[in-house]
Structure 1
Amino acid sequence: MSEKLGLLGGVSIALGGMIGGGIFAVLGVVAQMAGPSAWVAFTGGGVVAFCAGYSYVRLQRLGDVSGGSVSFITEFVDSTTVAGMVGWTLLFGYVGSMGMYAFAFGSFATRLLGVEAAVGVPLRPVVSVLAVFGFVGLNVLGARTSGTTEVVLVAAKVGILLVFGVWGFYFGAETGQLTTGLSAATAGGLLMSAALSFVAFQGWQLLFYDEESLRNARTTIPRAVYLSIPASLILYVLVAVVTTGLLQPGTIAANPEIALAIAAEPFMGRIGFVLISLAALFSTGSAINATLFSAAHFATGMLEDDLLPDRIGDEDADGVPTRTLVVLGVITAAFTAYGSLQGITSFASLAFISVFGSMSLLAFRHRTGVRTGVLPAIGVLGAVLFFPSLVYHLAVMEPEVFGVVIVVAAVVLGLEALYFKRETIRSGIDGMQ
């Protein structure tokens, strides 16, 4: 983006990262698990995300550094290995997010076209993979929206969801279909679904990588974080109440990826399904593009700091290395083609819970008093509760998904260990010869 963005542009970047794809990809999965109390789960996830956002702002001010998590670890922990492992975890969280967006994109596209298979081959994975590589191509060509376009597009997406939420809430209240869901909610179920919803709130951290595109960034970023997270939470709560109130649990369970569009039909008719589906296609597509752009720049910074292997990209390339974009695209395509929506969402949520919790802990350790320690402490507590509850849910309720998550996590950790301990390993091998 050539022009500098102000507060409105900063809020648009953050909201675009959260509402742009999160609500369409995550809502049905959370509603499937929590039922009518899904709004409570989103509230829990949003509160912990807000505390993490405060922690990021606090660390940026204390260290006077730019770039987010890896920069904070480098500044306050002074460990290249820890910084690299946090960076790798965050990078795979981005890949999981893109896989989640691509999964939703393919689901909405095939259902909207009314063609879900061809020659016996499911089209959803095909469309999802094509979408990923389509946006890889756009980023290789350097295509980016302008600041003004970003604001307009985010306003359009928020407007459509507000119409859905307000109209649907009125319709549900008039027909007596809305419920709080608190009577049937359980603490364990809410905790697990709140953990699953966490990935829907990760978009605000993109601001810390777009600092150069913001006017008065050190003032704009905190304000944008503090405005965007509550705004997205309010919208998530409204949409969750309407969707779970108007749809039967069986309908949501059978169609978690397009539950939002189906929920529009009772009061908006077929045009509602089409409108929400089109909004979802555009939103998830733009979320893939924006996340790929930010992840690629993040990876380039890690290459420059020798935190990623040279084979992933050329650190001296002009702009983002094409090889880096292709590698991210290939891994994302594999996630979205072979993974389930809940598996991809769970993996991405676990990655962001780990990183955001670590940053909250770092901010808590560098608190200067009670006032600066409360919110980071809540962020740490949320991560400590979210991580094991989500792992437990996967192990007990989704053993196949759990197995995939464990394998992927083990591979990532193994690659990290091999890379950051490569000199020690090489010395050991040489000593045996």
Structure 2
Amino acid sequence: MTQPVSAAPLRRTLGVGDAVVVGLGSMVGAGIFAALGPAAHAAGSGLLLGLALAAVVAYCNAMSSARLAALYPASGGTYVYGRERLGAFWGYLAGWSFVVGKTASCAAMALTVGAYVWPEQAHAVAVAAVVALTAVNYGGIQKSAWLTRAIVAVVLAVLAAVVVVCLTSGRSDAGRLDIGASGGVGGVLQAAGLLFFAFAGYARIATLGEEVRDPARTIPRAIPLALGIALVVYAAVAVAVLSVLGSGGLGQASAPLAEAVRAAGAPGLVPVVRVGAAVAALGSLLALILGVSRTTLAMARDRHLPGVLAAVHPRFQVPHRAELAVGAVVAVLAATVDVRGAIGFSSFGVLAYYAVANASAWTLSSAPVSRIVPVVGLVGCVVVAFALPWVSVAVGAAVLGAGATAYFVRRWWHRRGGAGQ
């Protein structure tokens, strides 16, 4: 196995509560404000079925990740698990999937902040948000955890207000919750893939494994707690919004939660929802930068990325060069590109990442009962990934193929160099 470039450890400061908050900051983020509309458009009356399917896949992924994180409490998440359980290539592929997919997600979240705060200058606001949050992360993981705690509190309060206003309004009609599959099985699967984008935040807990106190106990507790809270929140919001707009109205809404409160007779709440969406996007962006930088650190330690990125700051005990590199790349993307469709692209990459996690968890035990969860998770990831819009699948597969090609070319080059000495 390749030896790490740097053995400098990160500081273990996060407890169960901090880890849960980091996970919630990723999951209860901009996805719930943005993903419901496209998911309803795909699934129609099968939206809640799509949500349930996304939750099942997410649960299996979370349980597999929790078991692995307890054994391998290091930065990098599934990059480390795949490397240790399946071999260097599969770990690399997981890390590549995560870094590329989540870097696109970072840009999407930054632009979401810009679109809600100052639509006419969305790119400039997005870049400013990236710079500010990179500075926060540079100052230490505890500062990031405290900021995330405040963001989660604001977002949960806004979502609670949306649920109460919708369910208590005269426009609420339980008949609009009729669960069917007007979008067909393919529509339900596609909705599950789009909604999975919002669930995937619990990966952040695993990727921060080197900064969690007593990880063997903390991580297996924090991941299901964060996922359970997020599922309850999503289900409540989906039911409330559907009861007012119906699947047809929800599928046509560009800002579904804002449209729902307006239709419910509370137009004064619309600006509050817009602020909540911007804050939620900030929370997602903060947690995403944390996760991508830690996976970058792990891959740099193994020389899959430039070794200079493996440095740990002597005072703040954070992977400062990796954080600055990630922040710079995201800032450039946020300033120059339109990342519409990034949800689908990100979902494809993250589902590939979790497919490797489930395959890794499958190797932990030979008992058939112990293998049920990782098998269901692996099959679910593959099926849902290829049910995404074809453009997302094509681009995602091409990017993964490019990463795999780079891995084998690099290995061939090193072997050739070694043979020549």
- TM-score range with shorter-chain normalisation? 0.7 to 0.9
Which residue type is aligned with residue 298 of structure 2? G
For residues 21-420 of structure 1, the aligned pairs below 5 Å read 21-61=30-70, 63=71, 65-67=73-75, 68-77=77-86, 79-110=87-118, 116-117=119-120, 123-140=121-138, 145=143, 147=145, 150-171=148-169, 174-175=172-173, 178-182=176-180, 184-247=182-245, 252=250, 255-256=253-254, 258-267=255-264, 269-310=266-307, 313=309, 315=311, 318=314, 319-320=317-318, 323-333=321-331, 335-336=333-334, 337-341=336-340, 343-390=341-388, 393-395=389-391, 405=396, 408-420=399-411
Give the C-alpha shift of residue 278 in structure 1: 0.9
Whether the 8 Å contact between 1:88 and 1:416 is mirrored in structure 2 is no
**Which segment is superposed worse, 359-368 or 3-12?**
3-12
Deviations 1:217-264 (A, max 9, x none): 3222212212221221121122123334433777656653x3222222
Give the C-alpha shift of residue 215 in structure 1: 4.1
Correspondence for 1:422 among 409, 413, 417: 413
Whether the 8 Å contact between 2:386 and 2:393 is mirrored in structure 1 is no
In structure 2, C-alpha distance between the alignment counterparts of 1:314 and 1:373, rounded to whole Å: 35
In structure 2, C-alpha distance between the alignment counterparts of 1:186 and 1:335, rounded to whole Å: 35
In structure 1, C-alpha distance between the alignment counterparts of 2:286 and 2:352, rounded to whole Å: 24
Give the C-alpha shift of residue 44 in structure 1: 0.9
Give the C-alpha shift of residue 354 in structure 1: 0.7
Whether the 8 Å contact between 1:172 and 1:178 is mirrored in structure 2 is no
Correspondence for 1:13 among 1, 18, 22: 22
In structure 1, C-alpha distance between the alignment counterparts of 2:134 and 2:146, rounded to whole Å: 23
Give the C-alpha shift of residue 18 in structure 1: 0.6
Which residue type is aligned with residue 311 of structure 2? E
In structure 2, C-alpha distance between the alignment counterparts of 1:170 and 1:388, rounded to whole Å: 39
Deviations 1:292-314 (A, max 9, x none): 12321321222122221246x35
Give the C-alpha shift of residue 147 in structure 1: 4.9
Whether the 8 Å contact between 1:177 and 1:246 is mirrored in structure 2 is no
Give the C-alpha shift of residue 368 in structure 1: 3.6
Change (3 A) 1:174 1:383: closer
Whether the 8 Å contact between 2:34 and 2:256 is mirrored in structure 1 is no
Give the C-alpha shift of residue 128 in structure 1: 2.6
Give the C-alpha shift of residue 176 in structure 1: 5.5
Please, which runs of 5 or more residues in structure 1 have no aligned partner? Answer: 111-115, 118-122, 396-400
Whether the 8 Å contact between 1:31 and 1:240 is mirrored in structure 2 is no
Whether the 8 Å contact between 1:23 and 1:236 is mirrored in structure 2 is yes
Change (3 A) 1:402 1:425: farther
Q: Secondary structure at the match of 2:177?
A: coil
**Which segment is superposed worse, 199-208 or 33-42?**
33-42
Whether the 8 Å contact between 1:42 and 1:194 is mirrored in structure 2 is yes
In structure 2, C-alpha distance between the alignment counterparts of 1:354 and 1:409, rounded to whole Å: 9
Change (3 A) 1:369 1:414: closer
Give the C-alpha shift of residue 344 in structure 1: 0.5
Change (3 A) 1:310 1:147: closer
In structure 2, C-alpha distance between the alignment counterparts of 1:9 and 1:138, rounded to whole Å: 16
Q: How many residues align?
A: 408
Which residue type is aligned with residue 338 of structure 1? V
Give the C-alpha shift of residue 174 in structure 1: 4.2
Change (3 A) 1:275 1:3: farther
Change (3 A) 1:140 1:419: farther
In structure 1, C-alpha distance between the alignment counterparts of 2:370 and 2:104, rounded to whole Å: 32
In structure 2, C-alpha distance between the alignment counterparts of 1:265 and 1:259, rounded to whole Å: 10
Q: Percent identity?
A: 23
Change (3 A) 1:251 1:182: closer
Whether the 8 Å contact between 2:68 and 2:361 is mirrored in structure 1 is yes
Change (3 A) 1:153 1:339: closer
Q: TM-score, normalised by structure 1?
A: 0.82
In structure 2, C-alpha distance between the alignment counterparts of 1:402 and 1:69, rounded to whole Å: 21
In structure 2, C-alpha distance between the alignment counterparts of 1:408 and 1:335, rounded to whole Å: 16
Deviations 1:17-60 (A, max 9, x none): 11033322423332332234322212211111110111122234
In structure 1, C-alpha distance between the alignment counterparts of 2:302 and 2:113, rounded to whole Å: 34
Whether the 8 Å contact between 1:43 and 1:233 is mirrored in structure 2 is no
Give the C-alpha shift of residue 383 in structure 1: 1.3
Whether the 8 Å contact between 2:35 and 2:198 is mirrored in structure 1 is yes
Which residue type is aligned with residue 115 of structure 2? S
Whether the 8 Å contact between 2:69 and 2:209 is mirrored in structure 1 is no
Which residue type is aligned with residue 385 of structure 2? F
- Look up the match of 1:113: none
Which residue type is aligned with residue 266 of structure 1? A
